């Protein structure tokens, strides 16, 4: 199986309009398509689908995806953290140097944990113990 890389992530949200405001106006994702119950966004090379699922139960700790991380240039990292803070976005870890780069983990309006990270896998493995 010759996989070329990561393609996209679909995130279930309780309120599409509220989430679109967060993902486009706070994070700066570009809206590509919007339908009644879903929206497709681009953020650099990443493709994100928001899917409205208001009837789903509130998330609780369980096995599965812990968070979704996005790459950001080191020169843009601290400005991005300032934007998160200025919008009152809950930051759950960081900003902190982790491995060979900077990282910050934060929550979207439904509590989905997202991360901005400045490094890559090779650099992380070079210093990981």
> Catalytic residue numbers?
115
Contact 90, 44 (CB under 8 A): no
Of residues 98, 104, 103, the one with CA closest to residue 124: 98
First vs last C-alpha separation in the chain? 30
Contact 51, 10 (CB under 8 A): yes
Instruction: Transcribe 42-75 into DSSP letters.
Output: EETTEEEEEEE-TTSPPP-S-SS---EEEE--HH
Element (H, E) at 32: strand 30-34
């Amino acid at each position: 199986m010759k996989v070329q890389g990561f393609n996209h992530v679909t995130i279930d949200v309780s309120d599409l309009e509220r989430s679109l405001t967060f993902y486009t106006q706070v994070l700066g994702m570009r809206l590509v398509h919007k339908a009644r119950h879903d929206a497709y966004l681009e953020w650099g090379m990443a493709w994100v689908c928001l899917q409205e699922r208001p009837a789903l139960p509130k998330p609780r700790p369980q096995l599965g995806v812990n968070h979704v991380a996005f790459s950001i240039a080191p020169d843009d990292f601290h400005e991005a953290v300032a934007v998160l803070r200025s919008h009152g976005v809950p930051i759950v870890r960081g900003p902190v140097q982790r491995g060979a780069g900077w990282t910050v983990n934060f929550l979207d309006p439904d509590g989905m944990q997202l991360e901005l990270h400045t490094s890559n896998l090779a650099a992380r493995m070079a210093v990981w113990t």
